[in-house]
Amino acid sequence: MQDRDGTVASPDIMKPLVIRSLRRSNVRKKIAEYLFDISPSGSYTSEIAYNVRTTPTNVIGAIRGMNSRYRIDESLIYLKIVEQIYSGKNNDIKLYKLTDFGKKIIESMRDSRKRF
């Protein structure tokens, strides 16, 4: 994983940042958990919005970042939790799915909830 200046950050360094980002935003957390539940499949923006009960604009902001409301450096794509894949005849459909790193994060969060 690379941080802003292009240096490579290990998953161990990224994990606290990712967990902090998920705890700061219920929308980010719900999106990651929804994508975990449907994994290994991906989903598109409006379907994610419907299933996590928010607007497509909030989903896009949480996944990609959007101005001041959703910071880009806390977005799910920037943190390498979610990846964007293209589908369709002309690659005109954007689907989002959880990365392997994202799966590990959600699993560890769920495990920690079970312990308490």
Q: What is the CATH number of the domain that holds 77?
A: 1.10.10.10
Question: Which secondary structure element, helix H or strand E, spans residue 61, and what is its range?
Answer: helix 56-64
| 60 domain residue, yes or no | yes
| 4 domain residue, yes or no | no
| 57 domain residue, yes or no | yes
| 23 domain residue, yes or no | yes
Q: What is the pLDDT of residue 69?
A: 81
Long-range pairs for 72-75: beta carbons < 8 A, 24 or more residues apart: 73/4, 74/21, 74/24, 74/25, 74/28
| 96 domain residue, yes or no | yes
Q: How far apart are the first and last CA of the chain?
A: 31
* For residues 16-24, average pLDDT: 88
- Is the pTM here over 0.75, yes or no? yes
| 79 domain residue, yes or no | yes
How many structural domains compose the chain? 1
* For residues 17-29, average pLDDT: 90
| 116 domain residue, yes or no | no
* For residues 19-32, average pLDDT: 92
The residues, any chain, with a CB within 8 Å of residue 17's CB and separated by 6 or more, are: 79
Q: Taking the CA atoms of the chain, what radius of gyration do you get in angstroms?
A: 14
